[in-house]
Amino acid sequence: MVFVLLPRGPQLWSRGGTSSSLTGRTSPVTSGYSNTPLATLYLLSDGEYSLHSFVMIHEEFGWPFFSYLDFAVREGTVQAQRALGTAGEDHYQESFYKNREKKLQFMRAMHGHTKVAARHVATAFDLSGFTSACDLGGSTGALAYELARQYPGLKVTIFDLPEVIEDAVLFKPHGPEAGQVSFVPGDFFRDTLPEADLYILSKILHNWPDDKVHQLLSRISRSCKPGGGLLLAEQLLDEDKCRPLPALMMSLTMTVLFQGRERSLSEYHSLLQAHGFTDVRAVRTGSTSDAVLATRA
């Protein structure tokens, strides 16, 4: 990838294997081209907020699905068989957890994408009233560690599949916030959820069709005590479903890949209230995830 080569020194277009589509992400210099500050921040594989793995995952895994977008729209089904030759119901796990290298690439992708918005989500609401939180499907802990930084009195449990938990240590930060975060293996559709004052779903609901969304929210509702909270990190659609463009693109992607979708605030109101949550509030962060907070009645 050209953005990884450029930090070693300015490159000529031909040597870097570039195209004119990179204009705006590279800057002309005397002897060739170099990365812009924005490209350095997000597109280097070893950058603090790297989206390199996220881009590569979508090129390898996402694009084949979009090649069958017309079938997905007409049939209303995930096109895993046509795109990947995978007939199983959970092509997600079959694609990313079949070997450790693929799993780590996917974990890096989700870590980077979550970290970009983590501070925005963690500070969208005053969460100082909570002493314990459980991030369901929290993977590497990118959001959990940021919550721990912002709220030193908060203990956060990551609840994710055993094969994810076993490698999450690779993403552990060196700061004091690491001591506030623990990991528990499990499947949030099958296993008992850890007790917590605040439950967190970051980029989870948009992955699943409606029946699975209701199943998961029902389980959280039974575990969450009155006065407890549910924090969602998703991209909010406007009420007319015509904006904003990044949320629309993410919604289309989730539909094509998983028959999931993004939602508007009124849809979250209805969805969460149906499972016993009230006082549904939202903050548009301007980042890659917005924040929704609700209270268990």
pLDDT tens, position by position, 155-214: 999 999 999 999 999 999 999 999 999 999 999 999 999 999 999 999 999 999 999 999
- The single residue listed with the structure tokens 């949030």 is 188
Percent of the chain with pLDDT over 90: 66
Q: How confident is the model at residue 97 (pLDDT cuts 50, 70, 90)?
A: confident
Enumerate residues 6+ apart whose C-beta is below 8 A from 164: 103, 107, 139
Rg of the chain in Å (alpha carbons): 20
**pLDDT at residue 109 in the model:** 93
Domain ranges of the chain: 2-43, 113-296
pLDDT tens, position by position, 102-121: 899 999 999 999 999 999 99
> Distance from CA of residue 209 to its chain's centroid?
16
CATH superfamily of 113-296: Vaccinia Virus protein VP39 (3.40.50.150)
CA separation for the pair 158, 144 (Å, rounded):
7
pLDDT tens, position by position, 138-164: 999 999 999 999 999 999 999 999 999
List residues with catalytic annotation.
Answer: 206
Token pair in block for residue 192: 């008992």
Query: DSSP state, 180?
Result: G
SS3 (DSSP) at 150? helix
The model's pTM is: 0.87
